A and B are shown apart, each in its own frame.
Chain A
Amino acid sequence: MCLGIPGELIEYLPDRPDLAKVDVSGVKRVINIGLLADDLPQPGEWVLIHVGFALSKIDEAEAAAALAFLEGIGQAYDDELAALQESRIE
């Protein structure tokens, strides 16, 4: 819940400017992008995601670092990914 997980923005949902599909370690899910409304990320850019919301834009190097941190954390990240896998935000 507290973990910020990096995701690569794939595309915005048609007719829903606040929702976008992202790729998190191969898991593709929809998240809310509304908290970045002042500076929207573009497809191909990376965001740090907390409980289904993009909270900040990050660069690719930071995404890799964040991912390495999470993979090192082990179970907690597996649980977070499993929870994300169950998520169906709309």
Chain B
Amino acid sequence: MRFVDEFRDADKARALSAKIAALCEPGRQYKLMEVCGGHTHTIYKHGLEDYLPESITLVHGPGCPVCVIPMGRVDDAMHLASADDVIMTSFGDMMRVPGSHGSFFDAKAAGTDIRMVYSPLDSLKIARQNPGKRVVFMAIGFETTAPSTAMTVLRAAAEGLENFSVFCNHVTIIPAIKAILDSPDLRLDGFIGPGHVSTVIGCQPYEFIARDYGKPVVTAGFEPLDILQSIYMLMLQVSQGRSVVENQYARVVPWDGNPVALRVIGQTMELRPFFEWRGLGFISQSALRIKPEYQRFDAEVLFEVPGVRVADPKACQCGEVLKGVLKPWECKVFGTACTPETPIGTCMVSPEGACAAYYNYGRMNRHRVPEALKVISR
């Protein structure tokens, strides 16, 4: 693993830490949002906050697709799953997300035919093997997974499959970032841009953040040094009064994204007028649905979907956590009634959720460990 060392060199981490500290103006507080749940994970796994001065706060964003699915959509999916002759198929991440009457796992245990799949293409295979059944794929995710759903719909169309459909819950990252920028709750100084989403959409869509809101954006990789480097790049812009989009993760993220992926999304899906996000509420043009040309693969056209809005459990404060207004430990049920084993809110379900990351790495309070300028551990 000699390759990995260059991303985890403790001397480099200390040097970056010192350079970041030197850029902070005395008496000023800085808030940087990491949009992506994968970054949240790296930050807590490696205790990266301990490498930052107290004046820099990392705020965790909405980039965890499981976390932002509202309860009403889970209930809709359950309703679909319970229809006659239906086989519901879903990524494993979705199985434990609670709806108002339990999760997919609960329904499966009670006899509903819900199957975990690795890929929408596995769902397609189940449809081929079960011509007498109607197979529905529970599609979730940002632009990272939307192209795979799009390709699967195109494949189903090419094969002329008549018993496969998609319950489309794909969301798009840009409107969510805009909603956060427009929210009066939070004043941010810059964004650590998502890594994998950007392999699809590229860096260009973030330019409005720098241009119209005056906030720098740096698209970042997932290694500890990637994140520290990105924070340094953000702080350098802030200290110089600049705001542009920079790409720290250019070794994977092309500036223009993946044109084929964008093309197939555009071919099969279109923006919904609005969509409800857990915690963020209704955001206009923030989610995708299947285009009318492909409506024979759209579960929302083929089945009756209740579409009832369901309020989150009162005790759960995922909404505030997803907006970055509350830290996980400030939620009343964090680590007590709500744990990864028995999650109440979505942020505790997904390993990329901020609450799960805090819980799994023992971050129960705000104290930093300054002496932890140690070797970044594996």
Task: Judge: A and B partners, yes or no.
Answer: yes
Residues of A within 8 A of B (CB): 1-4, 31-32, 34-38, 48, 50-53, 55-56, 58-62, 64-66, 68-69, 71-73, 75-76, 79-80, 83-84, 86-90
Are the C-beta atoms of A35 and B258 separated by less than 8 Å? yes
Q: How far is the CA of A58 from the CA of B200 in the complex (A)?
A: 14
Q: How far is the CA of A59 from the CA of B260 in the complex (A)?
A: 20
Among B42, B93, B118, B221, the one with the most A-chain Cβ atoms within 10 Å of its Cβ is: B118
Are the C-beta atoms of B45 and A88 separated by less than 8 Å? no
Q: Is B252 part of the binding interface, using a Cβ–Cβ cutoff of 8 Å?
A: yes
Contacts of B199 in A (CB 8 A): 4, 48, 55-56
Q: How far is the CA of A72 from the CA of B6 in the complex (A)?
A: 16
Known: A48-B252, A56-B199, A59-B251. A66 touches B141 (CB 8 A): no
Known: A59-B251, A62-B251, A84-B118. A35 touches B92 (CB 8 A): no
Are the C-beta atoms of B264 and A52 separated by less than 8 Å? no
Are the C-beta atoms of A51 and B148 separated by less than 8 Å? yes
Query: Can you list 24 A-B pairs, Cβ within 8 angstroms, ordered by A?
Result: A2-B145, A2-B196, A4-B199, A35-B148, A35-B258, A35-B261, A50-B196, A51-B118, A51-B119, A52-B118, A53-B147, A53-B151, A55-B147, A56-B253, A56-B258, A59-B251, A60-B3, A64-B1, A65-B3, A68-B7, A69-B223, A71-B378, A79-B92, A90-B121
Are the C-beta atoms of B151 and A51 separated by less than 8 Å? no
Q: How far is the CA of A61 from the CA of B141 in the complex (A)?
A: 27
Among A2, A3, A4, A35, the one with the most B-chain Cβ atoms within 10 Å of its Cβ is: A2
Q: Is B91 part of the binding interface, using a Cβ–Cβ cutoff of 8 Å?
A: yes
* A-B contact number at CB 8 A: 142
Are the C-beta atoms of A65 and B223 separated by less than 8 Å? yes
Q: Residue-by-residue, is B30-63 near A (CB-CB < 8 Å gives 1, otherwise 0)? A: 0000000110011001000000000000000000
Are the C-beta atoms of B119 and A87 separated by less than 8 Å? yes
Q: How far is the CA of A29 from the CA of B352 in the complex (A)?
A: 25
Contacts of B147 in A (CB 8 A): 35, 53, 55
Q: Residue-by-residue, is B225-269 near A (CB-CB < 8 Å gives 1, otherwise 0)? A: 000000000000000000000000001111000111100100000
Q: How far is the CA of A53 from the CA of B41 in the complex (A)?
A: 23
Q: Is B140 part of the binding interface, using a Cβ–Cβ cutoff of 8 Å?
A: yes
Q: Is B161 part of the binding interface, using a Cβ–Cβ cutoff of 8 Å?
A: no
Near A by CB (< 8 A), chain B positions 90-130 give 91-94, 116-122, 125
Are the C-beta atoms of A52 and B121 separated by less than 8 Å? yes
Contacts of B118 in A (CB 8 A): 51-52, 80, 83-84, 86-87
